[in-house]
Structure 1
Amino acid sequence: MSAIADTIGFTSPAAATALECDFPLVEISQIAEQESWRKEINRPIYHIHKWWATRLGSVFRGIVLGALSQPGTDIWAQFYKTHDLAGKVVLDPFMGSGTTLGEAVKVGAKAIGCDINPVSTFLVRQAFTPVSEAELRTAFERLERNVAPEIRHYYQTRDPLTGELIQVLYYFWVKTVTTPEGEVVPLLSRYVFSQDAYPKKKPRAQIVCPSCWGVLEDRYDATDLHCQHCGHEFNPQKGPAAGQYVTTKSGQRYRIKELLPKDGMPPAHRMYAMMALRADGSKVYLPVRDEDLALYVEAQKRLATEVLPLPETSVRSGHNTDQARGYNYTQWREFFNARQLLCLGLLLREILTIDELDIQEQMLCLFSSTLEFNNLFCSFKGEGTGAVRHMFSNHILKPERTPLENSVWGTDKSSGTFSTLFESRLLRAKRYLNEPFEIAFDHDQDGNRAGSRKTVASHPICARRVETWQELAASDYGLMILNGDSSKLPIPTGSVDAVVTDPPYFDFVHYSELSDFFFAWLSPALRQRYPWMAREDSSDQGEVQHKDPRVFARQLASVFTEACRVLKDDGVLAFSFHHSRAEGWAAIYEAINKAGLAVVAAHPVHAELRAASPKTTAKDPISLDAILVCRKKAFAQHQSPALQDVRQTVDTLVARLQTAGLRISAGDRFVIGAAQTLIARAADDLGFEEIKIDLEEIRLLVGPGGGNGDNEPDTTGVELATV
């Protein structure tokens, strides 16, 4: 039987689960694409805190249902039904944000999640902790009463029209360098610092004068301005910074890195403008005045006198941290200015006085989530959209030339602040536990899509959290969340019905290097409570992460081998994967093969929003994941297709997805082709180089791929982020 037949609906006689047969890849991809536009709203439980490469819940619901259902089951017909798969056990050895766990317990199965990263373990525990909204609101109101006024004090300015103090939403900063001649040069590539997300429709923009630093309003594309404050004439489109270089007023050109402080400190900053909220709710842009500078100095002085729970650890060298270290960001506290450190420290200190530990940890999780939007690596997205571009928008720690300082507590007009994330992230996630919903499409009388809606298709998520296998085995609906090396699981052999996961990237995104940013704040607060929080950083020698694909394959094989041990003989191991390079797929093949597994089916599904930040700069963005379905080799009896049949399979699958309205890139075609190649070679025992040659041949057959890895932007030569 060909791979085409397996993929488009024919059941293999050796199949033990529905996931090995037909999979509703079109229907689930359409739902997944809708979910991907607002993941934090459509699956809030997995976005209670930042985690990288969080997969789509609708896709994993389909995977879990297929993995736990008999062959011939119509997965799509079962998708919106309420299930009670009591007694079934699903394992995720790379649980990340907990997507597999949530989708498993929603259909009534037991779930085991393990991650070697302590931040992952902490956030997943918080996501699934049932706490009443009333208790959370009581704790929030206490914080609002005890510490919010102190924080708000440092985010206010005087309205020039009324003389009244009003709240500041955002402060605009710019990095500066000093030339050997003593000239201080701001790293502005243009003097337009705020414009609408759709400037051609709304051309009004905010511009700073390079002479007097006054704030002007004009068109976003203005090229000749006369400052109304000082009379200076300038071109707002031409700032002193361009690429890796800066030009002085006299025309002297310097490489920016050559002008970094020689004392090892990060670059200096200048605060030059702010967006404030008037009493009537309108927003106004204002220049920074002496009173505003004095308020910042006040915060600096207080920070020096307070005893606060601030991070004390260094930024370790690594693939995702060396860019920041190259600009002298060597301590995690240097990612924040003095006002941010003071206000965050005051808030954290007050949170740690909450006696009820469940409530305290929920607030700690919210606090940690707030850090992502309140640091010197954030920037301004513009009017008409969420104002704050968070620090991980590009999956790398890239120093910002024009940082945006958010107001830590925030107002009802803010985004990414403690008060707004309380409503939009924490409470929304808790409500999802009580009423877990799915996205469904409505159709008109002609069968055309007429909108989407939310529909409840699961019982409330109330699985009891247990700590041991014995407790899990004795419970009807249990959830075990582990921290540790997934190649050494405290689970009996042959006890798990399905393994469903999303492995780490092998090259570009090093989770622990990035999660150290949160760990530096969380560890001091939690190290006495949890052994896995008492580390120097969030890394571990057993983590599956390496730039060498062969080393990565060996690391991954150790986890897959353990997963194979605990998996029942008729169970499947299914995981999502995509990569634009042949060596990435060769590493996956080698890991599967060494673990004693074989790929028996592969289903392409929509995985990521095409407009996501890391993908906009990729040469050939990938939006599909391949769902690779594996069985133990001894039980994986199937007829492998010939390599020359793969092209036909790819064409068939691409046609189905395109007919359904999905855009398929050349990179997506390679993902489909590479996955089918793994099926074709499942019965073989090829080496890394042999399978890599096959994959390169498939690339030529199905069309050019491209890109720079796992949807990562090409950052070669990138110095500092531009405005």
Structure 2
Amino acid sequence: MKNLTVPAVFSALETDFPILEVSQLAEQESWRKEINRPLYHIHKWWATRLGSVFRAITLAALSPRGKGMWDDFYKTHNLTGKVVLDPFMGSGTTLGEGLKLGAKVVGCDINPVSTFLVRQALTPVSEVALRRAFEALEAEIAPEIRRYYQTRDPETGALIPVLYAFWVKVLDTPCGEEVPLFSRYVFAQDAYPKKKPRAQIVCPACWSIFQDRYDAIETICGDCGHNFNPQKGPAAGQNLTTSGGRTYKIKSLLPVSAPPRHRLYALMALRPDGSKIYVAAKEEDHSLFSEAAERLRTEDILLPTFPVRAGHNTDQARGYNYHAWRDFFNDRQLLCLGLLLKAIMRLEDRAIREQLLCLFSSTLEFNNLFCSFKGEGTGAVRHMFSNHILKPERTPLENSIWGTNRSSGTFMSLFESRLLRAKRYLNEPFELRLESDLLGAKAGTSKVVASAPISPRLVESWREIEAVKGSAALILNGNSAALPIPDRSIDAVITDPPYFDFVHYSELSDFFFAWLAPALKGSYPWFEREDSSAEGEVQDKDPQMFSRHLGYVFAESRRVLKDDGVLAFSFHHSRPEGWAAIYCALAQADMTVVAAHPVHAELRAASPKSAAKDPISLDAILVCRKRATVEPISYSLETIQARTSALSKRLEEGGLLLSRADYFVIAASQALIATGYECLSFDEIEQRLLEIMNAISSPEASSLAAAE
């Protein structure tokens, strides 16, 4: 092994990055990301990184050694003349944080949904104008939508608004029995049932609704006298059992070419005094739905026509015969969403129209047949992307599209909680400040404004961004392996690359694309496609193919990066092949890792992370330079273990809980520093990383950690 050589340092990001302070702040931000950084949650995007982390990265990357560290985090900065590029801009986190620091920003994404949502997030629009347009929509179309979401109060007979409708998939057995896919007959309970044990139960005999304890194992229906165990429904795992005791594979009973039928069985409604009630679905409720379905056949409205393509994240839905995106909605949802979209498209002001179109698209996440009920005492709607696959929901929850002031996930509620909150953040971009060293949901925080208002000029070319003297953003759609940017013109490239094997973004974003494309293809050429994917997309199940495409983007980043600039990106993976892909991509681009900083990245309890056996909560911030600008660094295995131990100890003493997978993230990132100048094949670097993974979990590694 070569001796350690300290290279010339151009930026603060290559030195002792404040991993503990940033991680403590990031942990707090991660509890309510959509509130603490609303700008990046105006619309659904996957793996949205934490704004506090990227503020710290960007500040350090654009600051000389000795500056841009924790003492400068809450200061107002004006990095005039600096330009930051994000070639995988996603939800726009890098762009927003760069603008807050006074830099110009360039963002590019191959996905049209990303490009559209970032443009809308960074466009300053008057709240007064937005409210005026919203109120016009409310007067025009809300009454039509709300008419389809009402029911009779069983006590007064008056019509009252429906908040949520409860459905269940039903299948027919060969013996002619219709079987609902309930796993249990308790369909609604409090989010904290031990404190509030009363729950809603549907009777399997007469379909009436009544209350009992959430954990009752025997109950009697007050309407028909049926005695049953509400914890045991017909569906269990991949099987269902009939009332006669026959067991079938659920997939064997699916219709030949269509998704399963659904049965409406209960409603949650809102009384005038603000109290919520559960009622069984009656004939009038079924007739109202049928009326909406009949009207859908005659309405001239924009509806999705695209098929669901086969893919890693879509195959489970296709296995249930969801072959078209319109299949993800029932007829009432299609009608009301179509009416709302039609009304939005009639708005004359393009900027306002596109803001509300972005809101409409955001609403889709909470208004489809893949949503479910989270429970009382929390946001009621579990959105369709709570899993990173499109998992068919056996007991879907139908939201009420426009909603009321007591709704969750509706056009009305998201107007306030997402759109307006994001616009206000542009005017007053605040940071969280921890008031103590405690971590967790109850750690005290305050808000500090440490940036000028975000008000960039959105430009369409590099020539324009050069000409602007103040704040400017160039937001591109296309392959970041071929950027319309001159050589050596970017001060820092800061990004978060996609995963190669877990989340295929375009397969999921097709859900939104199917609605947006018909509305926007006349305005943006990147919506004139068959789906949201494109040639050159960095997404592949094969890690070596993924690495090659990522290498093309890194090589292009190197071309546009100034010689004294850094490429910094966040990454984590639980297996050596993921890190081997990163190593080979950087080698292909003639870049090398010069520093690696572990920081908190994600709320450990977040789904689906909470279901993982050994969840990762850390990202490694990999800081890279052009190989020709630095001297090689080489660490022994013992040095990698020692550095891993020291870094993990620093985080754990600050209150972070680390898993074995987190230790590997730290060790693998340090190994990339040590191997940056070696010419290793994919298999060779994967084998070396496997040895490191085994070493950090060995007794010898534990002894070394104790010694440290």
Alignment TM-score, normalising by the size of structure 2: 0.97
Give the distance between the partners of 1:13 and 1:208, measured in 2 at CA.
69
Please point out which of 388, 397, 402 is paired with 1:395. 388
CA contact (8 A) 2:632 2:676 kept: no
SS at match of 1:424: helix
- Post-superposition, which runs of at least 4 consecutive aligned residues in structure 1 deviate over 6 A? none
What letter corresponds to residue 604 of structure 2 in structure 1?
A: R
- SS for the counterpart of 2:297 is helix
The alignment status of 1:363 with 2:340, answered yes or no, reads: no
Secondary structure in 1 matching 2:549: helix
Q: Which SS does the other structure have where 2:9 is aligned?
A: coil
Is 1:606–2:600 an aligned residue pair?
Answer: yes
Structure 2 residue aligned with 1:38 = 32
The answer to whether 1:259 aligns with 2:253 is: yes
Whole-angstrom CA distance in 2 between matches of 1:436 and 1:76 = 18
1:613 counterpart SS class: coil
Contact 1:377–1:403, Cα closer than 8 Å, also in 2:
yes
- Partner of 2:408: helix, strand, or coil? coil
Of residues 331, 334, 341, the one that matches 2:327 is 334
Mapped contact 2:43–2:362 kept (Cα < 8 A):
yes
Conserved in 2, the CA contact under 8 Å of 1:19 and 1:63? yes
Q: Which residue of 2 aligns with 1:179?
A: 173
Deviation by residue 1:506-548 (Cα, 9 ceiling, x = unmatched): 0110000000000000000110111101101100011000000
> Unaligned 5+ residue runs, structure 2?
699-708
Indicate if the aligned counterparts of 1:643 and 1:680 stay in contact, CA closer than 8 A.
no
Q: Is the contact made by 1:599 and 1:629 (CA closer than 8 Å) also made in structure 2?
A: yes
Aligned-residue offset at 1:47 = 0.3
CA 1:432–1:645 in 2, change beyond 3 Å: closer, same or farther?
Answer: same
Matches within 5 A, 1:450-469: 451-469=444-462
Match of 1:78 in 2: 72
2:314 equivalent among 308, 321, 328 = 321
1:51 and 2:55 are equivalent in the alignment: no
Residue 383 of structure 1 is matched in structure 2 by 376
1:113/1:480 contact within 8 Å kept: yes
Distance 2:33 2:288 in 1: 38
Residue matched to 1:343? 336
Q: Is the Cα contact below 8 Å between 1:620 and 1:667 reproduced in 2?
A: yes
- Alpha carbons 1:240, 1:247 under 8 Å: kept: yes
Does residue 291 of structure 1 match 2:284? yes
Three-state SS of the structure 2 residue aligned to 1:592 is: helix
Are the aligned partners of 2:7 and 2:630 in contact in 1 as well (CA < 8 Å)? no
Map 1:559-574; keep pairs closer than 5 Å. Answer: 559-574=553-568
Structure 1 residue 376 displacement after superposition: 0.1
Structure 1 CA distance for aligned equivalents of residues 198 and 184 of structure 2: 16
Q: Matches of 2:598 and 2:516 in 1, distance apart?
A: 38
CA deviations on 1:21-71 (whole Å, 9 max, x unpaired) are 010000000110100000000000000000000000000000000100001
Q: In structure 2, what is the Cα distance between the partners aligned to 1:636 and 1:483?
A: 33
- Separation of aligned partners in 2, 1:679 and 1:334: 49
Residues 1:133 and 2:118 are matched in the alignment: no
Whether 1:546 aligns to 2:540 is yes
Residue 483 of structure 1 corresponds to which residue in structure 2? 477
Q: CA deviation at 1:450?
A: 6.8
Could you tell me how far 1:703 is from its partner in structure 2? 2.0
Amino acid across the alignment from 2:430: F
Q: Quick one: distance in 2 between partners of 1:616 and 1:26?
A: 23
Shift of 1:197: 1.2
Deviations 1:224-254 (A, max 9, x none): 1111000111000110000000001110100
| RMSD (CA atoms) | 1.5
Q: Which amino acid aligns with 1:623?
A: S
Which residue is 2:216 aligned to? 222
- Going from structure 1 to structure 2, the CA distance change for 1:74 and 1:533 (only over 3 Å counts) comes to closer
Which residue of 2 is the match for residue 309 of structure 1?
302
Shift of 1:443: 4.2
State the percentage of identical aligned residues: 68
Choose which of 195, 201, 204 in structure 1 pairs with 2:198.
204
Distance in 2, Cα, partners of 1:346 & 1:643 = 63
2:431 is paired with a residue whose SS is: strand
Q: Structure 1, residues 387-420: CA drift from partner, whole Å, max 9, x if none? A: 0000001111000000000000001111000000
Distance in 1 between the 2:633 and 2:322 partners?
A: 55
Residue 300 of structure 2 aligns to a residue in which SS?
A: coil
TM-score (norm 1): 0.95
Corresponding residue for residue 668 of structure 2 = 674
2:631 is paired with a residue whose SS is coil
Aligned counterparts of 1:351 and 1:380: Cα–Cα separation in 2: 28
CA gap of 1:182–1:529, structure 2 versus 1, over 3 A, is same
> How far has the Cα of 1:383 moved from its partner?
1.1
Cα distance in 1 between the residues matched to 2:194 and 2:135:
43
1:179, 1:21 → 2: CA distance?
A: 66
Instruction: Say which SS state the counterpart of residue 575 (structure 1) adopts.
Output: strand
Equivalent position SS for 1:125: helix
Residue 591 of structure 2 contacts residue 627 of structure 2 at CA under 8 Å; is this kept in 1?
A: yes
